[in-house]
Structure 1
Amino acid sequence: MNFKNNKGYTLIGLIIGMAIFSIIASGMLELFIASNRIYQNTIHQAEVIPIINTTLSLISEELKFSTITNLSGNKKKIDYTYNVYENIGAQMKLTEEPRCIYFDDSTKKIVFTRNAVVANIINSQNIQNVSFEQVGTTKNYIVRILFNSSGKDDDITITSNIMTGGI
């Protein structure tokens, strides 16, 4: 028998080719999984960061002309008096309005109240925690606000300091 003229693939050649293909395919699969994870994290950040920015803007506007009356022990609530100056004739009259901002753990909503009546609610389903704390002991409070959000593969923590109108 003459085997020299047979053309084709040997079994060893096929096994080596399949091994090389398997290595390349598994590398491409890992690359696809990693890029999908990055995409999901980016989507999560795109959902959370605008909510946090809006909330910080509202809280900053509220506290800018306010006097802090209480920062709750669990750091979920801040009570303050909003100082409104009104022109009455030739005099300026200060009106103090009690207000409150708190984070409701059960509904994941940030609630703003005025005179014990809900004035604004920010739906923050993607935010797991919001906490308020006083920084320093100066005449003016500096309120540190900490937002935590957990996505599938990432955690976002944003901290902001806001100076209030004073005590």
Structure 2
Amino acid sequence: MFDIGLQEMLVIGVIALLVFGPSRLPELGRMVGRAMREFRRASDEFRSTVETNLNLNESDPVIHQTPSTPEPATTITPAALPSELEPTYADGEGTVAAVAPAAVDVGEPYCAQRGSRLFHRRECAWAPRIKEADRVYLKRVADARDQGFVECPVCEPWEPA
């Protein structure tokens, strides 16, 4: 700690013995030990406070899906067969009776990457860069904030009130 060798410690001990005497030396040793312990405790507390405020020891928070809220079941629409895509004719006269339904883009309005700090709107330029396996879907801005995400500075996600 102070890089004091055996010779220096011996000299300090002899001087302390001469100044304080043999009767008060154990009491003085206890006082010095107590003071060193308090100093170490105070410096550790100060260091932890500074590191907490500056987030030096923390990595990015890991976002976990909460198991208490079940994920909504996603309905997978089966691919249409080629015969279903062909128009059907009413009365055999060549007029089209029905056409295949159009594909609807269904999904959550916000997404984020696991292990990241930002969340984005689906339309954000950064959203396609998130791999599907790492993607976390969010329904509301409040849900994203509750999970520790921060708004993307590019798309600035917001919710209409």
User: Structure 2-normalised TM-score?
Assistant: 0.34
Structure holding more strand per residue: 1
**Which is greater in Rg?**
2
